Amino acid sequence: MVTAALMTLGLKYSSDPCTTLEERKPVYKLAEEFYSRFLKRHKSLICQELLGVNPTTPEGNAIAVANNLHGTLCSVFVKDAVEILEEMLPSET
């Protein structure tokens, strides 16, 4: 969810081609703003920390599945990432 939001910001606000640090600075600033807003809501950007288990291990994934963490917690994280992104993107009206 965080990666998708950052990709969206990059596609929307980067120049073409975006090959120099100077060209990337505006997008880096937006990425920092997104991180800050998400961290304010959830205190972490790391999936393992957000879920309280490591879903990349068989044991952690089993716990995540058994407790429906993807359906309960992940949906909140995705919703919040989208809300933050919508706040950061100008309305196209």
pLDDT digits (tens, 9 = 90+) for 30-66: 999 999 999 999 999 999 999 999 999 999 999 999 9
Tokens encoding 32:
């920092």
The domain segmentation of the chain, as residue ranges, is: 2-88
Q: Which of 9, 26, 87 is nearest to 79 (CA)?
A: 87
The answer, yes or no, to whether residue 72 has pLDDT greater than 90, is yes
pTM: 0.85
**What percent of the chain stands above pLDDT 90?**
73
Q: Which residue has the higher pLDDT, 21 or 81?
A: 81
b/e burial code for range 11-43 (CB count within 10 A of at least 16 → b): eeeeeeeeeeeeeeeebeebbeebeebbeeebe
DSSP string, 34-72: HHHHHHHHHS-S-HHHHHSS-TTSHHHHHHHHHTTHIII
